[in-house]
Amino acid sequence: MQRANFSRVGFILAAAGAAVGLGNIWKFPYMTGMYGGGAFVLVYLITILFIGVSLLIAEMLMGKMGGSDAVSSFEKEAPRHKWAWAKAGYLFFIGLIIMTFYSVVIGWIFYYIYLTLTNSLPSNMEDAQNIFNHLYHNSWMIQVILHAISVVIVGYILQKGIKGGIEKFNLILMPLLIVILLGLCLYASTFGGFSKALSFLFVPDFSKLNSEAIIRAVGHSFFTLSIGIGSIMAYAASLPKSANIFRSGLWVAFLDTFIALLAGVVIFSFLFEFGSEPAKGPGLVFMSLPIIFVKLGFVGTIVALLFFLGMAFAGLTSAISLVEPTVMYLERRKGISKKVAVWGSSFFYFAIGILMILSVSDGFKEYLMIGKKSLFDAVEFAVDSFLMPLGGILIALFVGYAMNKEAVKDALKDEMGETIFKIWYFSIRYIAPLAVLFLSYNALIS
C-alpha cells in the first residue's frame, strides 16, 4: 500500500484540522461560560498537557508504525495479542457515530451563513431563540437538506484522497481559520470587554469549580484533541518515515488549544462588550452572538460571515477525519473501491443523521427516545462519556502494555530524549488509563 502521502506540514495541518472543530469554537466557549470560566479552563489545560498530549502521541505512534487502518495497526503491532487486540481496532467506527450529529450541527452553521447573507440574523433574544428553536424543532426538512449538503462536501473531499483532498483542503482552510480568528481578536481588542474576557478566561475562581465541571473539562480535552477513535491513527498512517511524532503531537495540541482560547477570547469579548451573560449554554454561538453582530451593522455582517465561515471550515476538516478511518478500513481490509467506501459510509451516517434530526423534531420526537433522552442527546452523551474514553483507554493500554517496550522506545527516544520518554511512558501506562477510568465512572454515576 502507498505510504508517505503527507508532507510534514501537511500532516500537522491535517491533524490539527481534525482536532480543531466544533469542539473548539462552539463547545469550548459555551462550556467555559457554563462552568464559570478560569478554573474550568485551567483543568482543561492541565488535562491536555498531562494526559491529552501523551495519548495523542501514542495514537500517532500507532498510526505511523502500523501504516494502515486501525484494525491492521492493532494486529500488526502486537502480534502475540492478535485475537484480543484486533477487536480493539474497530473503535474507528465511533467516527461514523459522531458524524450522525456532527454533520447535523455543521448544517446549522450553513443555515446561519444563509441568514447572514440574506440579512436576516436576529436582532433581539426573543427572535434569536425563535429562529434557533424553529430550526431545531420544526424544520426537519431544512435540516435534512443542510445535513445532506455537509455529507456531500465531506464525501467529495474524502474521495479525492490524502494528497489531493485532505491535505490540500486543510492547507488552505486551517491558515484561513487562524487568520479569521486573529482578525476578529484584533478587532475585539479595541473593546473594553476584551480585558474582562481575558480575566474571565485566565483568572481562575476555584469556588466555581465543582466535580461536574472537572469531569466535563477532562472529557472535553479528549473530544477536542480527537483522541481515541482512530482519526489521528489514520492520518499518521500516511506519514513519511522521517516525520517527528513528538514534535507533530506538540504542534497539534498547541494549535488546538490556541484556537480554542482564541475563539473563547473573541466570543467573550463580544459578549462582555455588549452586555450578554456568558452562561448561555449550547445556543451561545447561535443565539447570543448573532444579536451582537446585528447591532454592529454592516461591519457586523462581515464579522458574522467570517465567523460562521471559519466555524464551518473547522467543522468540515474535523468531519473528514471522522469518516476517513472507516473509509481506510473498507478500502484496505475489504478491498472495496474508494468511491463505494466513501459513499457507503456517507449513506450510513446520513441515514442515521435523519433519525437524529427527527428525534428532536415536533411530531416525531416521541418515537425516538432512549430512556428520557432524545436519540440526539443520548448519542452525544454516549460519545463524550463512554465511547471516546474507551478508545483512549484502549490506546493507552495497548501502547503501554501490549506493544513491545523496546520497539516503542526505539521509535520515540531520539525524538524525546530519555527523561521525557520515561515521563511519557509512565503517563501512558498509569496516569492516562486511571484518569479515563475516573472520568467514565463519574459520568456513569452522575
Residue numbers of the site for ligand PHE (CB under 6 A)?
Answer: 18-19, 21-24, 98, 223-224, 226, 229, 231, 318, 321-322
Q: How far is the CB of 3 from ligand PHE (least distance, A)?
A: 22
**CA-based nearest residue to 107, from 62, 139, 147:** 147
Q: How far apart are CA 444 and CA 410, in angstroms?
A: 38
For residues 193 and 392, which CB has a smaller minimum distance to ligand PHE in the complex?
Answer: 392
Q: How far is the CB of 178 from ligand PHE (least distance, A)?
A: 15
Q: How far is the CB of 214 from ligand PHE (least distance, A)?
A: 19
Beta bridge partners of 370: 373
Q: How far apart are CA 348 and CA 155, in angstroms?
A: 12
The answer to whether 69 touches 332, Cβ cutoff 8 Å, is: yes
Helix residue ranges, H only, 134-287: 140-159, 161, 168-188, 193-202, 211-225, 231-236, 245-273
Q: How far apart are CA 58 and CA 79, in angstroms?
A: 18
Q: How far is the CB of 318 from ligand PHE (least distance, A)?
A: 4
For residues 48 and 358, which CB has a smaller minimum distance to ligand PHE in the complex?
Answer: 48
Q: What is the dihedral of CA 224, 230, 234, 236, to 10 degrees?
A: 60
For residues 71 and 260, which CB has a smaller minimum distance to ligand PHE in the complex?
Answer: 260
For residues 78 and 319, which CB has a smaller minimum distance to ligand PHE in the complex?
Answer: 319
For residues 24 and 170, which CB has a smaller minimum distance to ligand PHE in the complex?
Answer: 24
**CA-based nearest residue to 252, from 24, 3, 4:** 24
Q: How far apart are CA 252 and CA 178, in angstroms?
A: 14
For residues 230 and 400, which CB has a smaller minimum distance to ligand PHE in the complex?
Answer: 230
Q: How far is the CB of 24 from ligand PHE (least distance, A)?
A: 5
Output the DSSP codes for 272-300: HHTT--S--GGGIIIIIHHHHHHHTHHHH
Beta bridge partners of 374: 369
Q: How far is the CB of 149 from ligand PHE (least distance, A)?
A: 19
Q: How far is the CB of 347 from ligand PHE (least distance, A)?
A: 20
Please give the backbone phi and psi of residue 178, each rounded to the nearest 5 degrees, phi first.
-65, -40
The answer to whether 6 touches 162, Cβ cutoff 8 Å, is: yes
The answer to whether 113 touches 312, Cβ cutoff 8 Å, is: yes
Q: How far apart are CA 398 and CA 391, in angstroms?
A: 10
The alpha carbon of 245 is separated from its chain's Cα centroid by a whole number of angstroms, namely 20
For residues 70 and 416, which CB has a smaller minimum distance to ligand PHE in the complex?
Answer: 70
Q: How far apart are CA 333 and CA 75, in angstroms?
A: 12
For residues 101 and 140, which CB has a smaller minimum distance to ligand PHE in the complex?
Answer: 101
For residues 18 and 151, which CB has a smaller minimum distance to ligand PHE in the complex?
Answer: 18
Q: How far is the CB of 31 from ligand PHE (least distance, A)?
A: 12
Q: How many CA atoms lie within 13 A of 365 on its CB side?
A: 15
Q: How far is the CB of 12 from ligand PHE (least distance, A)?
A: 15
Cell output for 310: 471559519
Please give the backbone phi and psi of residue 220, each rounded to the nearest 5 degrees, phi first.
-65, -35
- CB contact set of 397 (below 8 Å; sequence gap of 6+): 433
Q: What is the dihedral of CA 264, 150, 59, 49, to 10 degrees?
A: 0
Q: How far is the CB of 233 from ligand PHE (least distance, A)?
A: 10
Q: How far is the CB of 183 from ligand PHE (least distance, A)?
A: 21
For residues 128 and 260, which CB has a smaller minimum distance to ligand PHE in the complex?
Answer: 260
Q: How far is the CB of 17 from ligand PHE (least distance, A)?
A: 9
For residues 291 and 436, which CB has a smaller minimum distance to ligand PHE in the complex?
Answer: 436
A 10 A CB-CB count for 131 gives 19
For residues 14 and 71, which CB has a smaller minimum distance to ligand PHE in the complex?
Answer: 14
